[in-house]
Structure 1
Amino acid sequence: MVSLRVMLVFCGALIICNANSNCPKIKTRSKWGGKTAISIEYQNIPVQYVIIHHTVTSKCGTFATCSQQVANIQHYHMHDLGWSDIGLNFLIGNDGNVYEGAGWNKVGAHTLGYNRKSIGIAFIGDFSDELPSEKALQAAKSLLACGVSNGYLARNYRLLGARQVISTESPGLELYGEIQDWDNWVPKP
């Protein structure tokens, strides 16, 4: 099967779309009630790093509860911290959905020192003592494969837990142990 690849230039950023990609369904900002970013900074693609986080909030298992959690996180980032948008590029709920944060090829505010060269993905909940649902883990792996197949992530991107590069317990002990078995995980940045 031939893959149809379309390349667009929008606001000075290269956007690549594959018509035949195996990407997960991504709940866009408009679907979960996201606010418009105050400002957007585009990053060069393909991105070299993916940083995995957890939100240390309640877990969510339905579209309604996950959407509310993502909206609450955006509100905290924008209103309490004074950021221009939600800091994460994507969030993943135990419902198995991927929620668009800043999205592909945009600089997030998730990992000091890595924001301009990484995509930040957070699992919604606290994963210190347990793993996210199997649906959530599979959604994350699908999102990573999607990023590579669409040119957003370098084929040899480096996967890290946030604790590897900043002083944090994120993505939680259980989830950190899990991602060490994933493709592209590296012990050192």
Structure 2
Amino acid sequence: MKRAKYYCILLVLILQWCYSSATCPQIATRKDWDGLRPVHVSYLPRPVALVIIQHTVTPTCKTDAECAERVRNIQSYHMESLNYWDIGPSFLIGGNGKVYEGPGWLHVGAHTYGYNSKSIGISFIGNFNNDEPTSKALDAAKALIKCGVENGHLASNYHVVGHRQLIATESPGRKLYNEIRRWSDWLDDVTSIKN
């Protein structure tokens, strides 16, 4: 009887692990995209309850090589021209549907002044005033957010907002903004969270 109970518990743990892992998208690590190490890190208190969607205002990318190059270029600009410690967004998402690691779940990013230490910033690669986000990119963002909740990085009652709702910017671009406004976790009225 004890052995059967042990195997049942083991099976439940395995199934939980498989379910949790299945929803997490593949994340291209800093090593995968040949990123520089950050100059300094500050740890993000978790779980956070806010996800800020933005865009990079760069050309889009559709292949792994193109997207990795865009991420490297963004990191170089952020670190060399803006003197950031690292690339700003927590994660970036390419038109190829791949997620690229920035500061990630654990470290404070530099994506939205006044909100960096209490949010995750997800930046879609492209200019979404002009371009439509790909379904692969949108699905990757949703899977990343779900993964964040399941792994305790995001609070279960988190909200998604557009960059433009918090600061004076066009980001995440009109077409991407129209998309994310239909998400179930969308927060329309940001007065309760606005600095």
Shorter-chain TM-score above 0.5: yes
Q: Which has the greater radius of gyration?
A: 2
In structure 2, C-alpha distance between the alignment counterparts of 1:3 and 1:135, rounded to whole Å: 30
The answer for unaligned runs of 5 or more in structure 1 is 5-17
Residue 150 of structure 1 aligns with which residue? 151
Q: What SS is found at the alignment partner of 2:43?
A: coil
CA distance in 2, matches of 1:3, 1:161: 36
Return the offset for 1:106. 1.1
Aligned to 1:112: 113
Cα offset, 1:132, TM superposition: 1.1
Distance 2:24 2:133 in 1: 20
1:2 aligns with 2:19: no
1:102-131 deviations in Å (ceiling 9; x for gaps):
111211000011100000000000011332
Per the TM alignment, residue 168 of structure 1 is displaced from its structure 2 partner at its CA by 0.2
- Structure 2 counterpart of 1:25: 26
Task: Specify which structure has the higher proportion of helix.
Answer: 2
The 1-side partners of 2:13 and 2:171 are apart by 37
Q: Secondary structure at the match of 1:95?
A: coil
Identity rate, percent? 53
Give the structure with the larger strand fraction: 1
Shift of 1:188: 2.1
Counterparts of residues 63-102 of structure 1 (less than 5 Å): 63-102=64-103
* Separation of aligned partners in 2, 1:130 and 1:28: 26
SS of 1:154's partner is: strand
Q: Per-residue deviation at 1:49?
A: 0.5
* Structure 1 counterpart of 2:6: none
Match of 1:165 in 2: 166
Separation (CA, whole Å) in 2 of partners of 1:83 and 1:59: 23
The ranges of structure 1 where at least 4 consecutive aligned residues each deviate by more than 4 angstroms after the TM superposition are none
Q: TM-score, normalized by length of structure 2?
A: 0.87
Partner of 2:140: 139
C-alpha RMSD over aligned residues = 1.4
Amino acid paired to 2:12: V
For the residues of structure 2 that align with 1:105 and 1:2, how far apart are their CA atoms?
A: 28
Further displaced range: 92-101 or 126-135: 126-135
